[in-house]
Amino acid sequence: MSDLDQFRQTVNAWLEENCPPSQRIPITREEQVWAGKNKTFPSSDAKLWFERMRDKGWTVPEWPIELGGGGLDEQHAKILKEEMKRLGCRTPLFDLGIWMLGPAVLEYGTDEQRQQHIPKIARGEVRWCQGYSEPGAGSDLASLQTRAEDKGDHFLVNGTKIWTTNADKADWIFCLVRTDPDAKKQEGISFLLIDMDDAGVSTTPIELISGESEFCQTFFDNVKVPKANLIGELNKGWSVAKSLLKHERKLMAEIGGDTPGPSFSPIQAAIEYIGLDQSGRLKDIGIRDELVRHEMAFRAIGLTHFRSFEERMNGVADNNVPLIMKYVGTEESKRKEEVLMAILGHRALGWYDDEFNVDELLTNRGWLFSKALSIAGGTSEVQLNIIAKRVLGLPD
């Protein structure tokens, strides 16, 4: 038996023993355990599952053991992910610190910064939010105007960020700020970590079309930020930002694996709401064609992710794949939601009405939320421009 096969057996046995049955069913948004100094647990089982995974280092399985991680390489971490998915194990901890900031600090941070921030992220002690976009700098992020002036032992930050997810619940924010207003756009930007409790930091929630308000506008009014909170070199924050965006795009490309949504798949929904003809085929030919197209695309995306993983293992990875897959993955997610809406018809139009069941209400909200997927992490239009120039070598 190979080392990987042995590890798979060990992981499976550990998960069977340590993941409570209640943590092996589809998760709802209300049941997600988010990091933070004020984090709450929806149940004692959720708390137990989090603590066991935290103590094992598997909230961040690929991070160094000495910093609170599991010390696994990519192959072993992939097996852990596969076995968790096979058993239906829930993600024990949610946080932008895990998905985005942590990898950037591990790559660009000093030893002191890693020791200060990485273990707290691994243990879920701090909740992070992202301060990138601004009212006048969205897709053209390099036009950002939030400014950090050098005041000797600290920076003085003034400006505003928008679409800062859960900023009103976060403990810290990682920000792109302009530290050299006279430099070219990308060359005068730095990457700062800011405590949300600092004087001068405030947030205002933004209501979304899905009825939620997870986005906020964040304001900085003469906020003093220690120089020790600078990640990477001064005025070189764009390099850190690009590295972090790779992780965000990878997350966006893989979105849906643990995202609350209807309990049925598009095919199951079609059988239930449209029905089969006497030959056992879906009655609606148009929907049938759409489902076939979606299933083929979904399978192709999965195979491409697997191929990309195999290439990385063999040292021949194409760094453009996450860029492409972010576009392909989020666009297909939108099309999936459009198909579900068409399948359910008027049953997908409920909002709070008791006449609609939970799956029908989630279908409506999922369709609305899917519109954000092709904006977050880089709009599809901008992604296509970058792919055209960087990957295909087309002229500007």
Q: Cβ neighbours of residue 195 under 8 Å, at least 6 residues apart?
A: 171, 172, 201
| Residue 58 contacts residue 86 (beta carbons within 8 Å) | no
Angstrom distance (rounded) from CA 43 to CA 72 = 29
Beta strands in 207-357 (DSSP E): 215-226, 230-231
| Residue 164 contacts residue 216 (beta carbons within 8 Å) | yes
Tell me the CA end-to-end span of the chain in Å, nearest whole number: 53
Q: What share of the chain is helix, strand, coil (3-state, %, to 5)?
A: 50, 15, 35
| Residue 192 contacts residue 155 (beta carbons within 8 Å) | yes
Closest CA to 7 of 57, 63, 70, 80: 80
The answer to whether residue 311 is catalytic is no
DSSP letter for 41, please: -
Beta strands in the chain (DSSP E): 128-131, 147-150, 154-162, 172-178, 189-195, 201-206, 215-226, 230-231
Report the 10 Å Cβ neighbour count for 192: 23
Ramachandran assignment for 36, one of left (phi > 0), alpha (psi -120 to 50 degrees), beta (any other): left
| Residue 206 contacts residue 199 (beta carbons within 8 Å) | no
Angstrom distance (rounded) from CA 157 to CA 68 = 31
Of 62, 83, 248, 290, catalytic: 248
Token pair in block for residue 139? 């897709």
| CA 30 to chain CA centroid, nearest Å | 17
Strands 154-162 and 147-150: antiparallel
Token pair in block for residue 92? 């024990």
Report the 10 Å Cβ neighbour count for 166: 21
Angstrom distance (rounded) from CA 58 to CA 319 = 26
Catalytic residues: 248
